[in-house]
Structure 1
Amino acid sequence: MHGEHLHQSHPDLIKRLKRADGHLQNVIEMMVNGRDCADVAQQLHAVEKAISAAKKLLIHDHLDHCLDEIAKSPGEMGEALAGFKDITKYL
């Protein structure tokens, strides 16, 4: 179950993270240009929320994938549960 794999949500996650990356670059530029700290903090908050939402989607998708693996191969439950435990430390 570990290794390289692409879940259904990964293309959407990649788009979200690229948008967040572009937004973060704008925040850095705001700081370089001496923009107001409150404005910078507000924009950083938006980047943080976007990344947090992407992380949750990734984790939920992975957990769904683990459940599907258990349903297909109950004998692999130990490995699937290890995958659950491994990823939930990032919640």
Structure 2
Amino acid sequence: MDLERDDASLRAVLNRLRRAQGQIAGVIRMIEEGRDCEDVVTQLAAASRALDRAGFAIIATGLQRCVADIESGRKNGEDGEAMKARMERLFLSLA
């Protein structure tokens, strides 16, 4: 599956990743400045959550497209077992 930059959901992911990039730069700056450990960890946790959410959004978009591909595969004569095997490989790739 190719990611299309014009997709609205992926634009939102890009924005989230840019914010996380800024948060990580902020964490680096905070460490360099000798800031309080609790503040650094709080900011680092926020960046980590932003990255997780971006990853989940990409996975959700990919699965949505794969389901559409499976439906078109069914129309192209792919049997149920082949579709099941393809979906299983997809889910295992996320684990």
Contact 1:66-1:84 at 8 Å conserved across structures: no
Identity %: 33
SS of residue paired to 2:45: helix
Q: Which residue of 1 aligns with 2:70?
A: 70
Q: Find the structure with the greater CA-based Rg.
A: 2
Let me know the Cα RMSD of the aligned residues: 1.7
Q: Which residue of 1 aligns with 2:19?
A: 19
Of 3, 6, 29, the match for 1:6: 3
Post-superposition offset of 1:85: 2.6
Deviates more, 1:49-58 or 1:76-85: 76-85
Q: Which residue of 1 aligns with 2:89?
A: 82
SS of residue paired to 1:73: helix
Post-superposition offset of 1:71: 1.1
Q: Which residue of 2 aligns with 1:32?
A: 32
TM-score, normalised by the number of residues in structure 2: 0.77
Which amino acid counterpart does residue 84 of structure 1 have in structure 2? F
> Which structure ranks higher in relative contact order (CA pairs < 8 Å, sequence separation ≥ 6)?
1
Q: Which residue of 1 aligns with 2:53?
A: 53
Instruction: String of CA shifts for 1:9-42, please: whole Å, max 9, x gaps.
Output: 2222111101100111011100100000000001
Unaligned runs of 5+ in 1: none
Corresponding pairs, count: 85
Deviates more, 1:68-77 or 1:10-19: 68-77
Post-superposition offset of 1:64: 1.0
Contact 1:69-1:80 at 8 Å conserved across structures: no
